[in-house]
Structure 1
Amino acid sequence: MEQDLLPQTVSGHQNDAVDDDDAPTLSLQALQALKEFLTEQSHSLNDTAAETPPASAPALISEDWRMSQFWYDHHTAQTLAQEVLTLCKSDSTRVACVACPSLYAYLKNIDSNVSVQLLEYDTRFEQYGSDFTFYDYNQPEDLPLELKNGFDIVVADPPYLSQECLEKVAKTVSFLARSEKPYLLLLTGEVQKERAAELMGLHPCGFRPCHSSKLGNEFRLFTSYDPEARIGGWDN
């Protein structure tokens, strides 16, 4: 609040008429407070400018925090999308995005021909047509049979950091992934490291995903394969 930064420390006469020579001046304390405030404002503006995605970034539907939606920042989404596209070995490669719609948008923005299926609870994403499948993690295998074991790459971002949620999402990933050596990527909190290994055989990577909303929990990327130098490799 700016009012608190300028306390009643103005020197000068208290009458209505003030001579030019007696123009009010700020005390050293008030000047210091004002300087700190302006510095913070400048940093805030610079941070906002730095976080603003370029014009080439896809337009995203607004987050709905009631559904635990927190989109990746531009760098994270772009890096993940590039990694997934690197894993696409042919035009027939199929990708499943489980509860990570911002990644879907970036993938399609970079390569509109990539085959991506978005599994998501939020029906606003029905606008993606046949690329959208309604998904409730509480019903992990209540999905169309044509999706079963049909994907070479599965990326999942469980909406909650609970053991129950990860266990159910792991069942969904198993349902979707092809039976032989699929590429699995999981984005979740650091606290799920041991469970990710036990349930899905995944390892943490050096790359640290970030969100536009600056979440307090530390997030990690876990994979079933060693991405080597591309995203920092396995970080054991």
Structure 2
Amino acid sequence: MEDDDDVPSLSAETFAALQEFYNEQARRQEILNQLESSDKLKENILFDENWQLSQFWYDEATVHSLVKLVDKILPNGGKVALLSCPTLFVPVKRQVGERATVSLLEFDRRFEVHGPDFIFYDYNYPDRLPPNLEQYDLVIADPPFLSEECLTKTAQTIKLLAKDKIVVCTGAIMKAHVEKLLELKLCQFQPRHRNNLANEFSCYANFDLDGVLR
């Protein structure tokens, strides 16, 4: 009989990390099953906000307005890119997914549960996109950080992705930079969040967004 001392054992730290990994895998599979099986998936958040990633989810009224916007201006067979705004993916996909392509470009790999619609995106590498990625009829972006550096790099990605219409939701303090980098105009529509933020947020577009939402 072999000595039990020869049997390898996991340290407490390694075991805890392994258990966390399996729990996260199970959580992802559960969400994926819901996405595949439910025709009435609620327009809510599938994951908790990760403040370390500067994640702040839109409230329901904002989601509703932006989904309405996408639905009204996206042509049949069109394409919309959601850049760093994962809150919108599920409701937009449900609304237009049968007639258009919806892509989520996002750093948080928890959203890989959305399968091929998910594209890993790190704003620090603005041109690191899948090869042969076609341009989009509409790009909606919400840069994760209120800094000129983040907006500048995100703007580079937007220019690579956008074929026509652009919407950027970001802090009001970024107005001058948005106008300079992307030539977008301030809209009356204001995005709001589930958890009230100290920073005032604004919406910018290169078309009459407010007119579409009326």
> Residues 112 and 118 of structure 2 are in contact (CA less than 8 Å); yes or no, is this contact kept in structure 1?
yes
**Offset of 1:193 from its aligned partner?**
0.8
Correspondence for 1:223: 205
- What letter matches 2:110 in structure 1? R
Structure 1 or 2: more helix by fraction = 2
Q: Contact (CA 8 Å) 2:141, 2:168: kept in 1 or not?
A: yes
Deviation readout 1:190-231 (Å, 9 max, x if unpaired):
011111111001001101110001111000010011124344
Q: Distance in 2 between matches of 1:205 and 1:70?
A: 20
Contact 1:60–1:105 (Cα < 8 Å) also in 2: no
| Residue number among 96, 110, 114 corresponding to 2:95 in the alignment | 110
1:153 aligns with 2:135: no
- Partner AA of 1:156 in structure 2: A
1:152-201 deviation digits (Å, cap 9, x = unpaired) = 100100000000000000000011112xxx11000000011111111001
Q: 1:211 aligns with which of 183, 193, 213?
A: 193
Q: Which residue of 2 is the match for residue 131 of structure 1?
A: 117
Q: Specify the code of the residue in structure 2 equivalent to 1:208.
A: Q
Distance in 1 (CA, whole Å) between partners of 2:78 and 2:94 is 17
Displacement of 1:146 in angstroms is 2.1
Q: Map Cα deviations across residues 76-117 of structure 1 (whole Å, 9 max, x no partner).
A: 011011101111122x10000000011112202323323111
Which amino acid in structure 2 is aligned with residue 61 of structure 1?
A: F
Cα distance in structure 1, aligned partners of 2:119 and 2:81: 10
User: Which amino acid is the alignment partner of residue 116 of structure 1?
Assistant: V
Extract unaligned runs of 5+ from structure 1: 1-54
Task: Give 1:100's aligned residue.
Answer: 85
Q: Point out which structure has higher relative CO (alpha carbons under 8 A, 6+ apart).
A: 2
Partner of residue 61, structure 1: 47
Identity of aligned residues (%): 39
Specify the alignment match of 1:165 in structure 2: 150
> What's the TM-score, normalizing by structure 1?
0.70
> Aligned partners of 1:210 and 1:231: how far apart in 2?
16
What is the CA distance between 1:147 and its match in structure 2?
1.8
Please point out which of 96, 106, 118 is paired with 1:120. Answer: 106
* TM-score computed with the length of structure 2 as normaliser: 0.77
8 Å contact kept, 2:165–2:205: yes
**Aligned residue identity for 2:126:** P
Where 1:155 maps in the other structure, the secondary structure is strand
Determine helix, strand or coil for the equivalent of 2:192: coil
Give me the CA root mean square deviation: 1.7
Number of residue pairs matched by the alignment: 174
1:183 aligns with 2:148: no
- Runs ≥4 in structure 1, deviation > 2 angstroms? 55-60, 109-112, 227-232
